[in-house]
Amino acid sequence: MADNTTAPKSAQIAARPLSPFMLGPYYKFQLTSVLSFAHRISGLALSFGTVLIAIWVLSAANGAWSYAQFAYVARSIPGEVLLFAWSWALLYHLCNGIRHLVWDSGFAFEIKNVYLGGYLVVALSLVLTAAVWAVAFAI
Amino acid sequence: MSLRSPLSEARGLGSAKDGVGHWWMQRLSALALIPLALWFVFSIARYHVADYPTMLAWIHAPLVAIVLVLFFLAAFYHSALGVQVVIEDYVGNEAVKIGGIALVKLAHFALAAASIYAVLKIAFGAP
């Protein structure tokens, strides 16, 4: 069996940029695909969040002691950070969901409008999140 | 000319075998959740630091209890439909896929029932 000199050495194979490493320098992200991932990931996160919502309302129904346990965890720093992240995930998913409903109705399929809607959704989700917390604390 | 068999024409359900039912209900629940979720996220932001009697009094109000139940119905339904699609898209093994979807549906149903029970318990309890 002849020695195949053109075959890459194993060291060369290892040095080749493989798919996760393509993402930074070789692959340019598009707003459209990133927002699509974000819609799915936020939706999945919100589904897990429903477990916490169920715990919240069940602890309230169960009595003062149960509610105090829940409130102790919810008002810790990680609890507040999670709650804020939850509100942004929900409002992003809601805004981008409206974008999907517009597409389902047959509108805004032009590349220009797809990008315009994308930027609008990101901006609106941030503004709404800020507004919700600002108004909630102001009342 | 249609390439569909007479039987599939008669059933009218297409390759997904449930027609457009899933697709349509996901959109319908999404539509319901636009006002409901906006209200819920704002209410949670407002009341998450409330003490126990304030929280109870809030849920006890008839309109709040009704809208909370509506939100839970729409949210858990929408969530179950969404997670089902994620499983269908990424799980190749048929047994794991069917088992996963069954688990997701049952878990969502249980959480929805428990959450709605909790709201009603507070709503129908002493103020």
B1-32 pLDDT, tens per residue?
677 777 777 776 766 667 788 999 999 999 99
Burial status of residue B112 (CB atoms within 10 A of its CB: 0-12, 13-18, 19 or more):
buried
Interface probe for B, chosen from A50, A121, A132 (most Cβ of B below 10 Å), is A50
> Which CA distances in Å does B102 have to B6, B13, B29, B98?
31, 21, 20, 6
What's the pLDDT score for residue A7?
A: 63
3 state SS of B19: coil
Distance from CA of B78 to the nearest CA of A (A): 9
pLDDT by residue (tens digit) across B85-112?
Answer: 999 999 999 999 999 999 999 999 999 9
For A65-111, the pLDDT digits (tens) are 999 999 999 999 999 999 999 999 999 999 999 999 999 999 999 99
Mean pLDDT of the region A57-67: 96
Instruction: Write the DSSP string, B45-96.
Output: HHHTT--HHHHHHHHHSHHHHHHHHHHHHHHHHHHHHHHHHHHHHH---HHH
The answer to whether the Cβ–Cβ distance between A98 and B34 falls below 8 Å is yes
Least CB–CB distance from B48: residue in A46, A74, A139: A74
The answer to whether B123 faces chain A, any CB pair under 8 Å, is: no
C-alpha distance from residue A63 to each of A112, B64, B68, B110 (Å): 54, 19, 19, 21
Residues of B in contact with A83 (CB under 8 A): 44-45, 48
pLDDT of residue B21: 87
The three-class DSSP label of residue A6 is coil
pLDDT of residue A101: 97
For position B3, what pLDDT does the model report? 75
Whether the Cβ atoms of residue A99 and residue A117 lie closer than 8 Å to each other:
yes
Q: A-contacting residues of B 24-83, CB under 8 Å? A: 27, 30-31, 33-34, 37-38, 41-42, 44-46, 48-49, 52, 55-56, 59, 68, 75-76, 79, 82-83
Pick from B82, B111, B122: CB nearest A61: B122
pLDDT tens for A114-130 read: 999 999 999 999 999 99
